[in-house]
Amino acid sequence: MATAEAVATAVDEPAPRQLEPSELGTRSYWDEYYQNDLDHDESEGDEATALSSHTDLESWFDDVGAPAKVLQYLTSEAFPLASRKTSCTVLDLGTGNGSSLFSLFIDGGYTGCLVGIDYSQQSIELANKLHARYSRLFATPQHRPPPISFHVFDMVTDDPLIATWWPEDGEGFDLVLDKGTFDAVSLSSETVVDSQGVDKRLCEIYPGKTAALVRKGGFFLITSCNWTEEEVIDWFTTGEMQDQFEVFGKIKYKTFQFGGHKGQGVSTVCFRKPD
């Protein structure tokens, strides 16, 4: 959903906490963002170039090499799903233009059921436009169209259990991805009333909503530029999230030092949902 440049926020308070709301946490911002991409799509008609250069796929945290690092992680022998990537199910939260799923399919060899969801209609229109392009490129006797589908879905208000894209066994997805969506959600001022009648910001209910999408024994991989590794881990393993996820691994990026403190500009943490 979000790019590193769009949602990066300097923070130095302990986590978990609240970020100041901004327009980057509004649906109208992302509708306009993706509508602009739709209006200025200049690669139509040059499909061979689009495939060879992957310019359509270079859209999230690319300045720190996150897409390549995440792909390497998900295809490494150390990642349990890599050995069955032709059959595992993958869900991309806040899919944007679908870049993560296209990359997993084209470069990563993930050919199972791949699903992208986003609450922005314009996002899904853009992702479907790129899907049609790549489908034409792969429509040969040697290849089949990407097994990817995109759907408008609001994690806060919609029920995944009745969605057409929900896995048939009803157990959830093997792998759920977030590359900046929690960042954007953290910048929303919207609140919802929980089961106890308490008003909560969307970022407070997002971890629980996410856990419900992952099957037992499955994985959740999140990349964030607003939260440190420790903060991400706190959000998804403490409080109401205790026992929902366990840390499986982390992706390391180039570190920098500022004001006597050392850190990364981006954090990627992989969680596993206990059996």
Given a cut of 50, is residue 2 above it in pLDDT? no
pLDDT at 264: 80
The CATH number fitting domain 22-38+47-272, selected from 3.30.460.80, 3.30.300.20, 3.40.50.2300, 3.40.50.150:
3.40.50.150
CA distances from 47 to 54, 64, 130 (A): 10, 27, 10
CA 69 distance to own-chain centroid: 14
Examine the pLDDT at 236 and tell me if it is beyond 80.
yes
Residues 6+ positions from 125 with CB-CB distance below 8 Å: 34, 38
What tens digit of pLDDT does each residue of 19-58 get?
999 999 999 999 999 999 999 875 555 555 544 444 444 4
Bridging pattern class, strands 246-251 and 267-272 = antiparallel
Domain ranges for the chain:
22-38+47-272
Does the structure show a pLDDT above 60 at 225?
Answer: yes
pLDDT at residue 231, rounded to an integer: 96
pLDDT digits (tens, 9 = 90+) for 166-205: 999 999 999 999 999 999 999 999 999 988 889 999 999 9
| Confidence check: pLDDT of 250 > 80 | yes
10 has pLDDT over 80: no
Length of the chain: 275
Mean of pLDDT values over 83-90: 96
- What's the number of CA atoms in the CB half-sphere (13 Å) around residue 222? 28
